[in-house]
């Protein structure tokens, strides 16, 4: 068990659909992250929540909307996505943002936009 669980693992959606990605961590961490991984590109940080407060929005389009109801759960709400949004979306957690402690990653959601 990775300690960080993401659902669904795969998602195919049309550009007009609304869907949500879910992430849950069982590690007692206080920081949670959303990353986008496109082919042959570095991991792209999207959002960070530290102690349930959003501390980072890395110029992400408003069609992506994060939600962090508590330290263990993180959502990414998707609406009116574009084909270029097709990618692997990774959730991660760490003890606290800003420390040198490594992040623990989930296995990702492979998103395909038709």
- Positions touching other proteins (CB under 8 A) are 2, 4, 6, 33, 40-43, 45, 48, 55-56, 90, 92, 97-98, 100, 102-108
16 or 40: whose CB is closer to other proteins? 40
SS3 53: strand
CB 71, min distance to other proteins, A: 17
At closest approach, how far in Å is the CB of 8 from other proteins? Answer: 13
Cβ nearer to other proteins, comparing 66 with 106: 106
| Cβ atoms within 10 Å, residue 79 | 14
In the complex with other proteins, the residue whose CB is nearer, 45 or 60, is 45
Paired residues of 7 in beta bridges: 22
Interatomic CA distance for residues 59 and 25, integer angstroms: 25
| Angstrom distance (rounded) from CA 11 to CA 18 | 11
């Amino acid at each position: 068990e990775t300690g960080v669980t993401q659902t669904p693992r795969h998602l195919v959606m049309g550009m007009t659909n609304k869907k949500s990605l879910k992430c849950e961590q069982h590690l007692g961490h206080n920081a949670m992250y959303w990353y986008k991984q496109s082919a042959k590109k570095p991991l792209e940080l999207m959002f960070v929540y530290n102690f349930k407060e959003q501390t980072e929005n890395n110029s992400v389009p408003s069609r992506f909307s994060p939600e962090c109801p508590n330290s263990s759960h993180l959502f990414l709400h998707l609406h009116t996505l574009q084909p270029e949004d097709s990618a692997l979306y990774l959730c991660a957690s760490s003890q606290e943002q800003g420390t040198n402690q490594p992040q623990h990653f989930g296995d990702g959601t492979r998103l395909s936009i038709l």
